[in-house]
Structure 1
Amino acid sequence: MKKIIRITTVPASLSKLLFGQLKFMSEHYDIIGVSSNDKHNSLKKIALQESIPTIGIDMTRKITPFKDLVSAYKLYKLFKKEKPFIVHSHTPKAGTLSMIAAKFAGVPHRLHTIAGLPLLVATGKKRWLLNTVEKITYAFATMIYPNSHGLYHIILEESFTTTKKLKVIANGSSNGIDVEQFNPNIFDINKKKNLKASLNINETDFVFLFVGRLVADKGIKELLEAFNSISKTYKNVKLLLVGDFETELDPLDERTLEIKDTNPQIISTGWATDVRPYFAIADVLAFPSYREGFPNVVMQAGAMELPAIVTNINGCNEIIIEGENGCIIPVRDAEALYDAMLNVYNETYKYDKAKCRELIVKRYQRQVIWDGLLQEYKNLENK
């Protein structure tokens, strides 16, 4: 079988972002997974999970010229040794380093999937630097796969590359949703009651849910500000925050942290291995992110029959159809978010739970994405 190397900057992306996909592809190709080493021996776990060999090459998420050069050289040596016919990267740093290394190693097909553009919220010199790095990645790649149509158009608007190198696989998303796993029928009434009780959520409470990193770019400031206002009037509302803080790259401001720590109607669970139980006890997902590629959490919520309040950004505004499975509000607008949350709470906005799930199953179930990417690989064999 022909060989393909799939690569991400950190192993969490390899195991979660692409869960199940590498195992599926290994039925058709010789797949090798590459990512950084970590203290949890994640690469060994991924090897077992996906039934593929994995190789550790350390990469940093920040721009670190000397370390990046070392990483690129190690990737070059790996590609020369393994001689893959495709190197397919995800995440920014892995994309830049592997596309350059693969080009010099003579890999014929150098593919990079774009799942978001952090540069969109950068300004000044940082924006210029990130733009430059992005253009370098695209220049060394032979194909770029934005995981949403919105990203496709942004890439063209920014003149990062041309339409000849761009393609959206299937309906978007990097890996789709396992609609059998994300199914509300898995959780019976007793399971939901027990979880609510453990979190001090009453049966009569209305639960707003956020799932993701608790960072500024996810709109946490606006979310907590809006909820804080609602909770002053309504005592039967709860805001459930499921995710970790990331204090180094994108910290929250002091006022936001103060609201989180002092409002008793805000519940923070920390990082969760399985987020499905939290979807099962929630009434609506509130996801006011500033930027996304194609957010899994919004698809997961829909599959669990939850409507979502999202911002008008690429990915989110493709998954959510206004009035059918959620509503779309402006970015960085706490007042608009407050109004939307209040309207859902008061049932001014009413949603058909079955329709929320149906829209995800029809457009984004995992096999649709896998089959689309497999066909892309097959097409490259003939070039």
Structure 2
Amino acid sequence: MKILIVITDYGSFNNFLAELAVRLSRENEIHVVCSGSNVINIVDKFDYTKYNLTFHTVAIPRSTSIIKLIKSAREIRKIVKVINPHLVYAHFTTGIFPAIFFKKRNIEYWGTFHGLGMNASGGIRKIMFSIVEFFCFLRLDKRFLINNKDYKLVSNMFKVNTLKYNSCGVGCDIKKFDRNRFTEVDILNLKQDLNIDGKFLITYTGRFVEFKGFDLVYHSFVKLVEEFPDEVVLLLIGGRDPIHPTGLTEQEEIDLFKNQSIVNVGYTSEVEKYLAITDVFLFPSKKEGLPVCIVEALAMGVPVVTLDERGNSDVVRNNFNGYLVKSISKLSDINEIVEKLNYLYLNRNVLDMLSSNCLKRRETYSRSFFVEEQLNLINVFKSKVKK
């Protein structure tokens, strides 16, 4: 069977869909359409040349620019015409819209929304996302959501062929994200290499963008340092996104890289190594589907402090494996985040309890559940195609 996977950029494909695509390629002809950008810039998980995978580069915009999306839709239409796949499976709103804009008859179209824009935006952006996403809902043969809030919204509008992943989003590699892989010596050596031995370590993973709460991370940490100078460290894993603001002023961005208590690792394929030395994972994102970075932290036994928003609240439970902060205002959010971090710093027994609880549901975070669930769905469709 021929399957065409459409996803916004190569970095997202490599990070989220690589395992599924490789498994599918064993018995199917797989084509991948994505832009060549590497927003999540990590080394390739596989040597894709060894598999039945063909990549097609299309400049898919990471925005709701209708003109740019339609332009990319024309390019995708040409590819579909040549390949003539049995199934087009698109991911993210910005990948789904151009994939189905020129929908071809006699081809099945599926789409996974990794966080609806209409459910996490305001003003003109909410209107734009609502128009684009509703158009997508109408034209898709199957709609997939990955969190409860999005699923409830869409399933109320389209009761048939609207499904929610049973897996924990796309999950993570729990063999890789396993704290038992790291000895006490490994942990001590890494802390010494970073010159943070004996410090309380808070980690943030992701793009340095405002809608992921990066500004809240910075301001909360600066305030925490005032209370515990030379005792706490912020570890940043990721980097800037050229099309989205950080939420910081120019001077704050300068201070960010001058602050001796902030360690900037950049993008890395060894996130698990840094989570192994982390005390608390701070990810106060306002706009998530179901964040992989939180799943990775929980799999490593690291308690999470995040905002009480969709996706985050699907996996984090108050006083069990972390804390959910009700977002009221920027100042209020910062104060409550600092309060939670302060409490965990002063109460290591509570921190240990939360860490232990993180590991109780560890098996459910496995990416294998996502892969197997998708393989089963596609195999059911494949059996119908053969008939």
> Is the TM-score greater than 0.5?
yes
Q: Find the counterpart in structure 2 of residue 250 from structure 1.
A: 245
Q: Find the counterpart in structure 1 of residue 268 from structure 2.
A: 272
Q: Find the counterpart in structure 2 of residue 237 from structure 1.
A: 232
**Number of residue pairs the alignment of both structures matches:** 373
Q: 1:210-359 counterparts in 2 under 5 A? A: 210-234=204-228, 235-254=230-249, 256-257=252-253, 260-331=256-327, 332=330, 333-347=333-347, 349-350=350-351, 351-359=353-361
* Matched residue type, 1:139: L
Does residue 80 of the first structure (1) align with residue 102 of the second (2)? no
Does residue 189 of the first structure (1) align with residue 184 of the second (2)? yes
1:256, CA displacement in angstroms? Answer: 4.3
1:48, CA displacement in angstroms? Answer: 3.0
Q: Find the counterpart in structure 2 of residue 140 from structure 1.
A: 139
Q: 1:83-232 counterparts in 2 under 5 A? A: 83-101=84-102, 103=103, 105-155=104-154, 161-173=157-169, 175-202=170-197, 204-232=198-226
State how far apart, in whole Å, the 1-side matches of 2:66 and 2:268 are. 34
State how far apart, in whole Å, the 2-side matches of 1:180 and 1:322 are. 26
Identity within the alignment, %: 21
State how far apart, in whole Å, the 2-side matches of 1:167 and 1:217 are. 26
Helix, strand or coil: the match of 2:8? coil
Q: Structure 1 313/3 Cα, relative in aligned 2: closer, same or farther at 3 Å?
A: same
- The structure 1 segments of at least 4 consecutive aligned residues displaced by more than 6 Å after TM superposition are 42-46
State how far apart, in whole Å, the 1-side matches of 2:27 and 2:296 are. 28
2:145/2:164 contact within 8 Å kept: yes
State how far apart, in whole Å, the 1-side matches of 2:361 and 2:283 are. 18
State how far apart, in whole Å, the 1-side matches of 2:98 and 2:50 are. 26
Helix, strand or coil: the match of 1:375? helix
1:44/1:54 contact within 8 Å kept: no
Q: Structure 1 253/130 Cα, relative in aligned 2: closer, same or farther at 3 Å?
A: same
**CA RMSD across the alignment:** 2.5
Q: Which moved more, 1:302-311 or 1:217-226?
A: 217-226
What's the CA shift string for 1:15-43, capped at 9, x where partnerless? Answer: 11113111112234322222123599x99
What's the CA shift string for 1:319-361, capped at 9, x where partnerless? Answer: 1122221121113411111111111111273325343123131
2:33/2:76 contact within 8 Å kept: no
TM-score (norm 1): 0.89
Helix, strand or coil: the match of 1:201? coil
Q: Find the counterpart in structure 1 of residue 31 from structure 2.
A: 32
Does residue 54 of the first structure (1) align with residue 55 of the second (2)? yes
State how far apart, in whole Å, the 1-side matches of 2:138 and 2:276 are. 44
TM-score (norm 2): 0.88
1:225/1:256 contact within 8 Å kept: no
Unpaired runs of 5+ residues, structure 2, are none
2:212/2:285 contact within 8 Å kept: yes
State how far apart, in whole Å, the 1-side matches of 2:112 and 2:168 are. 11
What's the CA shift string for 1:40-64, capped at 9, x where partnerless? Answer: 9x99976337652222223222344
1:6/1:88 contact within 8 Å kept: yes
Q: Structure 1 206/58 Cα, relative in aligned 2: closer, same or farther at 3 Å?
A: same
1:148/1:314 contact within 8 Å kept: yes
1:154, CA displacement in angstroms? Answer: 3.9
State how far apart, in whole Å, the 2-side matches of 1:164 and 1:127 are. 25
Q: Find the counterpart in structure 2 of residue 5 from structure 1.
A: 4
1:111, CA displacement in angstroms? Answer: 0.6
Helix, strand or coil: the match of 2:73? helix
Q: Structure 1 154/253 Cα, relative in aligned 2: closer, same or farther at 3 Å?
A: farther
1:152, CA displacement in angstroms? Answer: 0.9
State how far apart, in whole Å, the 1-side matches of 2:65 and 2:225 are. 44
Unpaired runs of 5+ residues, structure 1, are none
Helix, strand or coil: the match of 1:192? helix
Q: Which moved more, 1:304-313 or 1:373-382?
A: 373-382
1:83, CA displacement in angstroms? Answer: 2.0
1:65, CA displacement in angstroms? Answer: 4.6
Q: Structure 1 272/166 Cα, relative in aligned 2: closer, same or farther at 3 Å?
A: same
2:92/2:113 contact within 8 Å kept: yes
State how far apart, in whole Å, the 1-side matches of 2:31 and 2:46 are. 14
What's the CA shift string for 1:117-141, capped at 9, x where partnerless? Answer: 3454543333212211111122211
